Amino acid sequence: MTDPVVDDCKFSRLQIIRTLQRMVMENFYQATDGKEAITVIDNKYFDLVVTN
């Protein structure tokens, strides 16, 4: 499963992903803003959505 990590700051997205990877999560979809994220979320099912 690929889970989205949404933040306009690339550094923040990478920090969140590193933290989640330590929790044994491996596949991520990254979005740079809410508009991009909603497009993907509307078309897929995710167990977890991380956003600020």
Tally: H helices and E strands in the chain: 2, 3
Question: Where residue 1 falls among pLDDT bands split at 50, 70, 90?
Answer: low
Average pLDDT, integer, range 1-18 = 86
pLDDT at 41 over 80: yes
Q: For 10-37, how does the pLDDT look when each residue is reduced to its tens digit (9 = 90+)?
A: 999 899 888 888 887 777 788 888 898 8
pLDDT value at 40 more than 90: no
Domains of the chain, by residue range, sit at 2-51
Q: Round to whole Å and give the CA distance between 17 and 5.
A: 7
Q: Does the predicted TM-score (pTM) go above 0.85?
A: no
If one looks up domain 2-51 in CATH, what number appears?
Answer: 3.40.50
Q: Give the three-state DSSP class for 10.
A: helix
